[in-house]
Amino acid sequence: MNNSKRVVQRFLELRKTLIPTNLKYNSGSRATRKYTDLMDQFIHSLFVDAGFRDKLRTARKDCMAVVALGSYGRRELCLGSDVDLLVIHQGKLSEDMAGVISRAIYPLWDAKLDVGQSILTVQECIRLAMNDFRVLTSIVDARLLLGSRSFFNLFEVAFWSRIDREKEAVLNQFLINQKKREERYGSEGYFVEPDIKEGLGGLRDLHFMAWMSRIFFKCKRLSQIRRFAVFSHFGSDKLSHSNGFLLKVRNHLHLIAGRKEDRLLLPYQKELSHILGYEDSPYITGPEKFMRDLYLHINRIRYGHEEFQAKALDIINPLPLEINTPYHLLSEFRVIKNNIILKEGRVSEKDPLVILRAFSEANRLGLFLGSGFIWEARKKIAKEGMKFVDSPGARRLFLDLILKPTNPRIIRLALEVGLVGLFIPEFKRIKNLVEFGFYHVETVDLHTLRTLEVINEISKGVYNARWPIFGEVFKELSHPDWLFLTGLLHDIGKGYKEDHSEKGAELIPHILKNLGIWGKALEAIPFLVKHHLLLVRISQRRDLGDERTSVDVAQIVRKKDTLRMLFLLTIADSLSTGPLARTDWKIMLLIELFFKVRRILERGVLATPDATKKIEDQKKTVLYILKPDFPEKDILDIMVQASSRYFLSANYEDIVQHIRMALTLGERKHLWIVNKLKDAPVTRVIQCIYDKPGLFSKMVAAFTLNNINVLSANIFTLKNGLAFDIYEVTNPLDPYREEEMWKKVYNEINQALEDQIPLDELIEKKRRTMRISPGYLRSGTRRVLINNEVSDFFTVIEVSTDAHLGLLYNLAKEFFSLGLDIKFAKVNSDEERMTGVFYVRDTGGEKISEKDQIEGIKQRIVSIP
């Protein structure tokens, strides 16, 4: 074994020893420094072994330096980080020295390190830095490893002299790159799976602050910025702690991924929480504790960076003071560059209400607060909290902020500096609380603020062009302030072991009384919180064609104004939860349920209306429409074959289409009409087909094989063997080939009906080729509820389980083998879970009532793969 191999082997052994002794117990900062020191020793050994020092001594020229860049230069080298090296030289590089450098660097790849290396002259290096922001910032963090100290010092003098001459251009590069980061990492997906390094609130925000401090304020370390009076309240100690936490997470992330990985993907979150010692408690799981801590640090860094940059830009690029401001502002304030500050004195010298008044003015005028004001306010709130709450008028000012949330940035700032938690202590429990999975894209506290924002947008008519019903309903509210309060408090019960809706309703009266709110609000708001998921669950899990469904909701809600608030709360909650909760189809279901319940409440009778009259009215309308095209006797012959449920559940337009297809079917066994909905990415398939055993499972298989998901199915079997079906499904993936795709699906359905294609084999083959969701998301639990109360005619089976391709097909087959006839199904599925609700009867057309039979059905469904 030659010497370089021995050096590599020694490095790998020491690296292996360092991992268990430093990563878990030490802060991330200390662990990265230790790893950086180990890397320094390794690289020194390689260059010395390659003859670097001897060659320099022989040449007798102090004209070369080997420099560490980026995270290596900052001494923040993580296990998977790139080892970035720069060899700076003057004049032409000799072939001998080039060989030495190559011999020194090659073993780094033998050690399985990701190496970035450049060999440049001083002039080349500076020119490249001024044209490439990444090179510029990596050189800002440059650190001499070996070579001539005097030459490296001369290089630094030249580099920083060029920076000083072109500070304006450098500042523009900072602003442009920050904007690019915000555009790339500001999407909802990065809330669910944050990027520890580049994401907003990640390590890069700390780097930006350190770089700006170095370039524009001559601070070698970020903490030195506090030498400047305007940064005297800058929380560098807390940011340093957050830096250590994120570095620890990043190191472990690299370790478990086996490579450089800075995106904290869902599969890693649970594993990391266990590695870092987070354990489950009665009220919160270990992974939830870990992610709550993570978001505490991310939010601290993000807000620290925003405040730092605002103050830094005030100094670096000052604009004329807006003394003669056009704003009608309280006399104690003035506006500078859209930021409210005190006219004179310091926040610490004023009464506590000055902070609330400043927030109120900023909210009213769409402004922000000066960074110095924010820093002082944060400190005053932490020190004199109870003085705020007990000050006369404080609660009123706080409520004005919540009931008129016109400026989202200010509302979020109120949360960040501690105002919300001060007036509503229960809010602290949901601060930075994470809900695992793809469904929720923000922490609970930010979700509630977004809900508040959406309610305000509804009040301003923001959604009127797409959904005018929202604005119309808001105008009819008797107490819009109750809706805003409910929006803020609807998830206050999360973080407890109990059902969060029930727990929230229990907490609300105490919260409202502390805010000085009494009267009927103490009944109305807890009711809304308790039932804030009612409309979502009913619309996505029940047959909206069955009037019993709407009557049941009306009996719970009872009042029209309560329904209006519950509807708008549900809409705002859905729109602010995430893309999986706010699909157009789900919004349409909520609107449909709202209209149906409202009609019942307007009639003033909480009971199902006369079914016989509705059936007769439907038949008369259908007959009137079809008589010009078909003999009346033929139309009536078809009608008599259909059940009463069909005429009660289907709308007359679908009935007309069904009967028209039945009368023109001829020798064909299957006809359908495919209608693409205008306001949602959903297609309604209205179908006339001869019923066959297992028809529903074969339909599901054909859709699944073509990447089309079944959302709902309403199946009506006629006495003559025909089936009138209505499927709501997702659109084909390729919008330019939809017509071609529907022809393909139609043909495959016909083939499946004749057992001409191996459905089981094709589904399994497709499932194996699909990307499998991360293992930890699979809870392994399958919940099966069987209910005979929610429908007069059917047993309702609800299945909640881990989602995977082909699952609905397997369920449909199992129902068929159990002798259960599916008459209605509604399916809600995302990347994690699938909830399917099935209205079924046995082969005799009866509900499932025997306890042994119900238990047997549950066991069979639970065992489905």
pTM exceeds 0.85, yes or no: no
The verdict on residue 815 lying in a domain is no
| Burial class of 849 by CB neighbour count within 10 A (0 to 12, 13 to 18, 19+) | exposed
pLDDT of residue 408 exceeding 50, the answer is yes
8 A C-beta contact, residue 104 and residue 44: no
The verdict on residue 145 lying in a domain is yes
Query: Count H helices, E strands: the chain?
Result: 38, 15
- Span 475-495, mean pLDDT? 95
Confidence of residue 91 (pLDDT cuts 50, 70, 90): confident
The verdict on residue 492 lying in a domain is yes
8 A C-beta contact, residue 799 and residue 861: yes
- Span 744-757, mean pLDDT? 91
Other residues' Cβ atoms within 10 Å of the Cβ of residue 815: 24
- Span 121-146, mean pLDDT? 94
Residue 277, domain CATH: 1.20.120.330
Lowest-pLDDT choice from 150-164, 182-196, 747-761: 182-196
736: which DSSP letter? G
Digit-coded pLDDT (tens) for 361-404? 999 999 998 877 888 888 888 888 787 888 888 999 999 998 99
* Nearest CA-CA partner of 111 in 17, 8, 13: 8
Domain tally, the chain:
4
Q: Does 135 share its domain with 267?
A: no
Q: Which long-range contacts (CB under 8 A, 24 or more apart) does 557-562 make?
A: 557/531, 557/597, 557/601, 558/601, 558/606, 559/601, 560/598, 560/601, 560/602, 561/476, 561/477, 561/478, 561/479, 562/524, 562/527, 562/528
Confidence (pLDDT) at 776: 44
Q: Does 464 share its domain with 399?
A: no
**Alpha carbon distance 357, 352 (integer Å):** 9
- Span 139-160, mean pLDDT? 94
- Span 417-428, mean pLDDT? 93
User: What does the radius of gyration of the chain's CA atoms come to, in whole angstroms?
Assistant: 33
- Span 76-98, mean pLDDT? 90
The verdict on residue 303 lying in a domain is yes
Other residues' Cβ atoms within 10 Å of the Cβ of residue 403: 16
Q: Does 310 share its domain with 232?
A: yes
Q: Does 131 share its domain with 223?
A: no
Confidence (pLDDT) at 133: 94
Lowest-pLDDT choice from 20-24, 180-184, 388-392, 521-525: 20-24
Lowest-pLDDT choice from 188-197, 496-505, 743-752, 805-814: 188-197
Give the domain-ending residue among 384, 405, 423: 423
Confidence of residue 319 (pLDDT cuts 50, 70, 90): low
Give the domain-ending residue among 555, 577, 603: 603
The verdict on residue 324 lying in a domain is no
- Span 480-496, mean pLDDT? 94
- Span 730-755, mean pLDDT? 91
Share of the chain above pLDDT 90, in %: 56
- Span 216-237, mean pLDDT? 88
Positive or negative CA dihedral for 850, 856, 859, 861? negative
Share of the chain above pLDDT 70, in %: 94
| The token pair that represents 342 in the structure block | 């005190």
The verdict on residue 593 lying in a domain is yes
Confidence of residue 325 (pLDDT cuts 50, 70, 90): low
Confidence (pLDDT) at 348: 80
- Span 273-298, mean pLDDT? 89
Confidence (pLDDT) at 188: 67
Tokens 């990347």, residue located? 831
263: which DSSP letter? B
The verdict on residue 711 lying in a domain is no
| CA atoms lying within 13 Å on the CB side of residue 361 | 22
Digit-coded pLDDT (tens) for 612-622? 888 899 999 99
Q: Does 291 share its domain with 159?
A: no
pLDDT of residue 691 exceeding 60, the answer is yes
pLDDT of residue 1 exceeding 50, the answer is no
pLDDT of residue 272 exceeding 80, the answer is yes
Within 219-285, residue ranges assigned H as helices are: 236-257, 266-275
Confidence (pLDDT) at 773: 47
Confidence (pLDDT) at 547: 82
Q: Does 468 share its domain with 567?
A: yes
Give the domain-ending residue among 165, 197, 230: 165
Confidence (pLDDT) at 609: 56
Confidence (pLDDT) at 421: 93
Confidence of residue 21 (pLDDT cuts 50, 70, 90): confident
Digit-coded pLDDT (tens) for 650-672? 889 999 999 999 999 988 889 99
Confidence of residue 183 (pLDDT cuts 50, 70, 90): confident
The verdict on residue 609 lying in a domain is no
**Alpha carbon distance 749, 653 (integer Å):** 24
**Alpha carbon distance 445, 543 (integer Å):** 33
Confidence (pLDDT) at 60: 57
8 A C-beta contact, residue 327 and residue 338: no
Q: Does 517 share its domain with 573?
A: yes
Bridge partners (DSSP) of residue 339 are 336, 368
Q: Does 463 share its domain with 540?
A: yes
Q: Does 556 share its domain with 440?
A: yes
Q: Does 272 share its domain with 356?
A: no
Owning domain of residue 242? 186-316
Within 558-714, residue ranges assigned H as helices are: 560-577, 584-603, 611-626, 632-641, 644-649, 652-664, 695-705
195: which DSSP letter? B
**Alpha carbon distance 715, 822 (integer Å):** 7
Confidence (pLDDT) at 774: 47
Residue 135, domain CATH: 3.30.460.10
8 A C-beta contact, residue 246 and residue 203: yes
Confidence (pLDDT) at 61: 66
Confidence (pLDDT) at 781: 77
Confidence of residue 20 (pLDDT cuts 50, 70, 90): confident
Confidence (pLDDT) at 775: 45
Q: Does 111 share its domain with 157?
A: yes
Q: Does 249 share its domain with 264?
A: yes
The residues, any chain, with a CB within 8 Å of residue 168's CB and separated by 6 or more, are none
Confidence (pLDDT) at 317: 75
Confidence of residue 437 (pLDDT cuts 50, 70, 90): low
Confidence (pLDDT) at 163: 94
**Alpha carbon distance 863, 865 (integer Å):** 6
Confidence (pLDDT) at 248: 94
Lowest-pLDDT choice from 54-58, 367-371, 713-717: 54-58
What is the dihedral angle through the alpha carbons of 527, 531, 532, 538, rounded to the nearest 10 degrees?
-150
Confidence of residue 415 (pLDDT cuts 50, 70, 90): very high
